[in-house]
């Protein structure tokens, strides 16, 4: 089963509120997005799925809101919930590792998507795309399973991160300005440790050079 079929089958067979990553209120994400963009500019939620974050971003009056996901079924759930307000959102169906270009944005948010990229080539494509998409001075908010978090989600292997490994993975243009950890409780009350980093995209000219420093989580643990 490929990625697209895998995620569609999850959203076809499970209720949106029964998936392990479900949050009734995406408070951590909303707090970090609002801190990153107090003027409420343009935001993309990558792998947003059926999350309620989009509802909150529309309600908060963000200038432009885009939700991208590999599963069109996930996005249909979100659109149905939003009703006519869905027209205020740009919806993109696609694999983030296969997309060539996205519209420039102020904030790129990802909760629990990057950590599924276990192939370094996929991570490279992802990082290249976010670097091309964010405006300089814009922010990447990334939430992944923490170092003591689960090894798998939805039957898929994940990579787990902390500030050091995620910073190395993203490279020198992403400057960590805020980090936080929290425990998410799944709908069956299982605790899962998450790490969230808020990174500012630096101009190429002032990003520190990393020389021969390791770039990937694998390099760091080697």
Ligand X SMILES: C[S@@+](CC[C@H](N)C(=O)[O-])C[C@H]1O[C@@H](n2cnc3c(N)ncnc32)[C@H](O)[C@@H]1O
Contact at 8 Å (CB) between 160 and 144? yes
Choose the binding region for ligand X from 76-84, 109-117, 188-196, 208-216 (rule: CB under 6 A).
109-117
Site for ligand X in 32-51 (CB under 6 A): 47-49, 51
Figure out which of the listed residues 74, 78, 129, 140 binds ligand X, where binding follows CB under 6 A.
74
What whole-number distance in Å separates Cα of residue 102 and Cα of residue 66?
10
112 binds ligand X (CB under 6 A): yes
96 binds ligand X (CB under 6 A): yes
Nearer to ligand X, 5 or 63 (CB): 5
φ/ψ of residue 133, rounded to 5 = -90, -40
DSSP for residue 149:
S
Rounded to a whole number of angstroms, the minimum distance from the CB of residue 207 to ligand X is 26
Figure out which of the listed residues 28, 36, 102, 111 binds ligand X, where binding follows CB under 6 A.
111
Figure out which of the listed residues 21, 62, 145, 161 binds ligand X, where binding follows CB under 6 A.
21
φ/ψ of residue 43, rounded to 5 = -135, 140
Contact at 8 Å (CB) between 196 and 141? yes
Contact at 8 Å (CB) between 113 and 159? no
Site for ligand X in 118-147 (CB under 6 A): none
Kindly list the distances between the CA atom of residue 7 and the CA atoms of 51, 71, 101, 204, 205, in Å, as whole numbers in the listed order.
14, 6, 22, 36, 39
Of the candidates 80, 9, 78, the residue with the CA atom closest to the CA atom of residue 47: 78
Choose the binding region for ligand X from 66-74, 84-92, 190-198, 202-210 (rule: CB under 6 A).
66-74
Rounded to a whole number of angstroms, the minimum distance from the CB of residue 114 to ligand X is 9
For ligand X, the nearest residue by Cβ is: 49
Residue 203: partners with Cβ closer than 8 Å, 6 or more residues away? 136, 137
Residue 98: partners with Cβ closer than 8 Å, 6 or more residues away? 125
Nearer to ligand X, 37 or 192 (CB): 192
Nearer to ligand X, 24 or 209 (CB): 24
Rounded to a whole number of angstroms, the minimum distance from the CB of residue 28 to ligand X is 10
70 binds ligand X (CB under 6 A): yes
What whole-number distance in Å separates Cα of residue 136 and Cα of residue 201?
5
Q: Where does this chain bind ligand X (CB under 6 A)?
A: 3, 7, 21, 47-49, 51, 69-71, 74, 95-97, 111-113, 116, 153
């Amino acid at each position: 089963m490929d990625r697209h079929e895998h995620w569609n089958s999850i959203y076809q067979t499970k209720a949106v509120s029964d998936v392990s990553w479900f949050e009734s209120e995406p408070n951590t994400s909303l707090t970090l997005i609002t801190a990153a963009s107090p003027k409420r500019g343009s935001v993309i939620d990558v792998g947003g799925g059926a999350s309620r974050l989009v509802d909150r971003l529309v309600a908060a009056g963000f200038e432009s809101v885009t939700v991208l996901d590999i599963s069109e079924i996930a996005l249909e759930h979100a659109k149905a919930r939003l009703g006519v307000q869905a027209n205020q959102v740009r919806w993109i169906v696609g694999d983030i590792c296969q997309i060539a270009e996205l519209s420039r944005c102020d904030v790129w948010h990802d909760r629990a998507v990057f950590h599924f990229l276990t192939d370094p080539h996929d991570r490279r494509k992802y990082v290249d795309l976010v670097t091309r998409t964010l405006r300089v001075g814009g922010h990447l908010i990334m939430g992944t399973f923490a170092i003591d978090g689960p090894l798998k989600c939805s039957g898929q292997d994940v990579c787990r991160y902390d500030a050091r490994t995620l910073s190395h993975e993203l490279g020198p243009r992403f400057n960590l300005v805020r980090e936080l950890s929290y425990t998410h409780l799944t709908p069956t009350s299982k605790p899962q440790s998450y790490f969230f980093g808020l990174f500012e995209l630096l101009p190429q000219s002032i990003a520190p050079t990393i020389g021969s420093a390791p770039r990937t989580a694998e390099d760091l643990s080697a």
